[in-house]
Amino acid sequence: MPTTPRAAEGLPLPAARPLPRVADEAFERFCRLAQRQLGASVVLVSLTADGEQVIPGAVGLPPEFDATRQLPLTAALCQHVVADGVPLVVPDARLDPRLHDNGAVRELGVVAYAGFPIVDERDEVVGSLCALELAPRDWSEDDLAVLLDLAAACSSELRLRGERERARRAQQQATRSYRQSGLLLLLSDAFQDALTVPDVARTAARVAATGLGTSFTGLAALDEDGRSLSYVSMASFVGDDVERWRRTRLTDDRPVAHVARTRKPLFYEDREALFADFPVVKEMEFLGEARAFLPLVSRQRLIGVLGIGWQQRRTFHDDNRAVKTALAAYTAQALERAQLLEERRHVARTLQDAMLTALPQPDHLAMAAHYLPAGRADRVGGDWYDAVVLPTGSVAVMVGDVTGHDMDAAARMGQLRSTLRAFAWDHPDLPSTWLARLDQANRGLGLDTIATALTGRIDTLGEGRYRLHWSSAGHPPPVLVRPGEGARALGRRSANDLLLGVDPQRARHDHTFDMQVGDTLLLHTDGLVERRGRPLQESLDLLIATASQLGYLSPDKLVRALTDALVSGHPSDDTALLAVQVRPCPGQVDL
């Protein structure tokens, strides 16, 4: 059964929250993603409470319902998903004895239905993500997998909102309760920017050192199996065999395991008191004297243990124990939030990977690509790469960059990318015509997306000769690497036409370059080269110099090596890199 937080934890959640009766952009994006993947007539995010259903996310909803975003539960199939807590999938609801009298079927004409549960921060089913059809439909396994993933993303969004509310209320209560404590004022702000588990560990160490005078801090997170703990950082350990202490089973006779089992803190004024209770820790090259081990618990669920230590002996009075408990509470909330964000990133990245399909591998070309998302939020973005073998036998290659680094950018990227590859396949003419038609569709279909793109068509001329036709819409130039000659950028600045989404009537142009066996063409987005405070031409020159040095590598190794060399750490912008190498066809002699 789902559990709710205890009042004893200090911040019980309300039994129900007012349901939004307006469109919510986050849930709208999930609906658009589902419709694009399934081609369904209607996709809804529905939430229920107190006998009503509201629809914060919808695609294809009739105008009269789109205006109110509200339906009675008698006309809602999602009530069965909420009541049963499991997906409801029917190809024809009229044939289901439990459903055929439902108002959605009888009055609104819903026939096929596939709905998956959405759960909130209490782990209670509060609604559904569903796809509807007005005719029978056999839902495929792929359809249901997409709905399952997007329902999980909706749940993560709902949980994150609940956690933000809990964090806000926790901050208010802590400020009131510990108005005299500078440490708790520091805690109220310290964890706001901690978005990953390592961030939480570093923030906890900094706050403990600043406010409590600690010398070392260790954060051990509960493993997925629920049977062990693993330290996020080993900074509080010394010696040659520190890795043996990284992971501990909950059944081990170690202080962190004991705290995890009992969920009660331990305080030791010096090392001798600790050794008396846990002799095994004598084997460590022990740092300092005093120690405190604090359980990290959120919503009655253990998520880890925080260990803090001092170089000198220390007496723990009731008041400073309460401060340390507050540190543990903030750390627990931040750690749980970071884990939820990681789950959301995983779902989002899975969806983006599904949109970036595998590259073809024709006999005369070897292709490889590498994508690196920017930032530390959703870890997805608007950059894309693609390649298509056209009906004529030519190969279309393309890269693009939609503004933004989030789920919305990824959704708009998917729309442009799919449209562009369809135009290339349907009319395998010059790349400029693909971009022109894409720009017109971008305006005509109401996408109104600002993006850059570069498209190319590689034709086989025979006798080991190939010709590249390419066109650019405000995009960085392609780079060609030729064995023995190094790398160079193709085209001049004047070869760059207007970016997409500004003026669809503006003329676009094509450019040509003759390629030969051994040449490698590099198409990239600006995240590979643009750096704050550095002139763009200097960055492009660095790319060309680095590509010249690494040009001997195969495409799959080259894209990784170039990205590692030019983009370090967390990139400030999305980065996509596509490498296309001309190789001899079977039976062709490479002269």
Domain spans, the chain: 7-161, 178-345, 356-582
Q: Is the Cα dihedral 465, 466, 467, 472 positive or negative?
A: negative
**What pLDDT score does 11 carry?**
34
User: Amino acid identity of 528?
Assistant: L
**What pLDDT score does 418 carry?**
87
Topology of the domain comprising 7-161: Beta-Lactamase (3.30.450)
**What pLDDT score does 439 carry?**
93
Q: pTM of the full predicted structure? A: 0.48
**What pLDDT score does 241 carry?**
67
The answer to whether domain 7-161 and domain 178-345 are alike in fold is: yes
**What pLDDT score does 6 carry?**
31
Quote the crossing angle between the two packed helices 141-177 and 182-190, to the nearest 10°.
160
Question: What is residue 500's DSSP assignment?
Answer: B
Burial of 211-242, coded b for 16+ CB within 10 Å and e otherwise, reads bbebbbbbbbbbeeeeebbebbbebbbeeeee
Q: Considering the domain delimited by 178-345, tell me its CATH architecture.
A: 2-Layer Sandwich (3.30)
**What pLDDT score does 482 carry?**
95
d(CA 176, CA 172): 6
**What pLDDT score does 353 carry?**
58
**Angle at CA 318, nearest 5°, toward 317 and 322?**
120
- Tokens at residue 294, please? 């604090």
d(CA 101, CA 79): 13
**What pLDDT score does 180 carry?**
42
Exposure on the CB side of residue 401, measured as CA atoms within 13 A: 24
- Classify domain 356-582 by CATH number: 3.60.40.10
d(CA 309, CA 292): 6
Name residues of the chain where pLDDT drops below 50: 1-17, 176, 179-180, 376-378, 589-591
